[in-house]
Amino acid sequence: MKSVFKYFLHTFVALIIITSCNGQQKKPSKNKNEKIMTTGTEVATFANGCFWCTEAVFQEVEGVLKVESGYTAGKVANPTYEAVCTGLTGHAECLQITYDPKRVSFEDLLEVFWGTHDPTTLNRQGNDVGTQYRSGIYYHNQEQKTKAEAYKKQLEDAHTFKDPIVTEILPFTIFYSAEGYHQNYFKEHPEQGYCAMVIRPKVEKFRKHFKEKLKH
C-alpha cells in the first residue's frame, strides 16, 4: 500500500508542477529564419544529453557565436527545469546554437554533435537517464533536414556505432530558454562536483579529438 500511495503522490506532485509552468513568464523562441538570414548567422538546435555538458563543448567550437541551454520538442508551454525532470512534459534538454556559416558549417556542427555523445542509447547519456536526455536534431529548414538525414545514413552505412542510432530528426517548433542559473554552467562552476567529474573530462576529450575545430 505504501508503494502505491507513493506512486500516486509522485504523479500528483508532478502534475501540479507541470500545471504551474503555464503561469511562468518565459519567452519562447520560434523559427526566425528570416531574421537569421538578414543578420548573416544561422541557428542549429541539438539535444544530446545534459545541457551543462553539451553547452561546454559547443562554446569552444570556432564559428559558434552563442550557445543557449533550454528545452524543446515538448507538449507543455513554459516548462520549468523541475517539470522537465519529471519526464511528463515531453521536452528534451537542448542547445540553441547561433553560428557564422562562413566560419563553421552545419556539417561541422553535426560532426561535433555525433562525435561527443552516444546516439545509440535511448533516453539516456551515461548516468543521466530520462526522456529529457534523448538524442535529437531539430531542423530549422529543409537544408538542415537533408544534411542531418544524410549524415545519419552515412554513419549507419559505415557501421560507425555498434548499435542502431536512435537520434530523432524533427522539425524545430519552439525553444524555451532554461533558467538563468543553467546558462554558462561549466564556466561559472568549474569546481562543482558534476563539472569536475563529468563535464571536464568530456571537454578535454573534445579538445583532443577536435583540435581543428577549436576557437583560436
H helix and E strand count, the chain: 9, 9
Are 72 and 47 contacting, i.e. CB atoms less than 8 angstroms apart? yes
Look up 53 and say whether it is catalytic. Answer: no
**25 HSE (CA, 13 A, CB side):** 0
CA dihedral 25, 28, 34, 39 (to 10 degrees): 80
- How many whole angstroms separate alpha carbon 71 and alpha carbon 78? 9
- How many whole angstroms separate alpha carbon 76 and alpha carbon 92? 12
Residues in the chain: 216
Beta bridge partners, 71, equal 93, 176
Read off φ and ψ for residue 9, nearest 5 degrees: -65, -45
Q: Would you tell me how many other CB atoms lie within 10 Å of the CB of residue 119?
A: 24
Lookup: cell for 65: 557565436
Active-site residue among 21, 50, 94, 195? 50
Amino acid of residue 133: Y
Active site residues: 50
